[in-house]
Amino acid sequence: MKIVCIGSGNVATHMANAFKENEADIVQVWSKDFNNALALAAETGAQAVADLKEIDQDADLYLIAVKDDAIVKVVRALQEVNGLVVHTSGATDMEVLAGIKNYGVFYPLQTFSKAEPIDFIHVPLCLEANSPENLSALRLIAVKLSPLIYEVSTQKRKILHLAGVFACNFVNHMYRLSQQIVEKNEIDFEILRPLIMETAVKVQHALPENVQTGPAIRNDRQTLLKHEELLHKSPHLKEIYAILSNSIKKTR
């Protein structure tokens, strides 16, 4: 399988490497920053291209992993290809690719950092395509990377993208606020790591609604007051503490 990788960010890098490990052939990498294209091309044994016009028209798969607002631009260069063109965005309509013969979406519902290796067996892949045949083709490609394959419409994919902000981005921000609280008091963040891990492990089989703990769900007013007192010099944290505690109380 010949793949052209369009983009060189976190998602492009992780995907290109995962495909390469699965014996696909990354033939080209394009990026708006040619140096980044060169780097990922070197990593995957591909050719770096500076101009979208140079893109190989005979690849099997075109993987678009650029910023959402740049997708439209690169699509113009792919109007005549026969291969399958997919974007990898959670928030973008599949139909942004309309006009191309064979197209779809290959959305990995996972958080990627360039420096962190990730095993694709833990990456749910959300697939959508413009025909049942292309969906089947995409599925055959996807199962080489991950056992977690989901057929997801554009509408549901957008919902998942939003839910991911709560389940990942806001969660990491909570970690960060806890880091801020302990470090301000000269305590190493390290001591919180087992608690963070266990909290995630718990919902791997249970549902979050069934394992909520803490003073808000018990309506333990004394502890809630003590915590707000501890935060009296941090109005921003105090506000978030109050809002989220009230949000938890509503679920009682």
Question: Binding of a copy of itself at residue 251 (CB under 8 A)?
Answer: yes
Residue written as token pair 């631009």: 73
CB of 88 to a copy of itself, least distance (A): 14
Which tokens in the block code for residue 46?
Answer: 């591909």
Contacts of 137 (CB under 8 A, 6+ apart): 84, 102, 129
Does 17 interact with a copy of itself (rule: CB under 8 A)? no
* Residue 91 or 98 having the CB closest to a copy of itself: 91
Residues from 118 through 147 that contact a copy of itself (CB under 8 A): 118, 122-124, 126
State the nearest-atom distance from the C-beta of 172 to a copy of itself, in Å: 5
* Residue length of the chain: 252
Number of residues lying near a copy of itself (CB under 8 A): 87
DSSP-based three-state secondary structure for 163: helix
Which of 110, 135, 139, 144 touches a copy of itself (CB under 8 A)?
110
The torsion angles phi and psi of 8, rounded to 5 degrees, stand at: -145, 20
Shortest Å distance, C-beta 58 to a copy of itself: 34
d(CA 153, CA 71) in angstroms, rounded, equals: 19
- Identify the CA nearest to 95 among candidates 77, 78, 74, 72: 72
Residues numbered 210 to 249 that lie near a copy of itself (CB under 8 A) are: 211-217, 220, 222-223, 226-227, 230-231, 236, 239-241, 243-244, 247-248
- Residues 59 and 48: their CA atoms lie apart, in Å, by 15
Nearer to a copy of itself (CB atom), residue 9 or residue 60: 9
Strands 84-87 and 61-64: parallel
Task: Assess 149 for contact with a copy of itself (CB under 8 A).
Answer: no
Q: Contact region for a copy of itself (CB under 8 A) — 32-40, 57-65, 132-140, 183-191?
A: 183-191
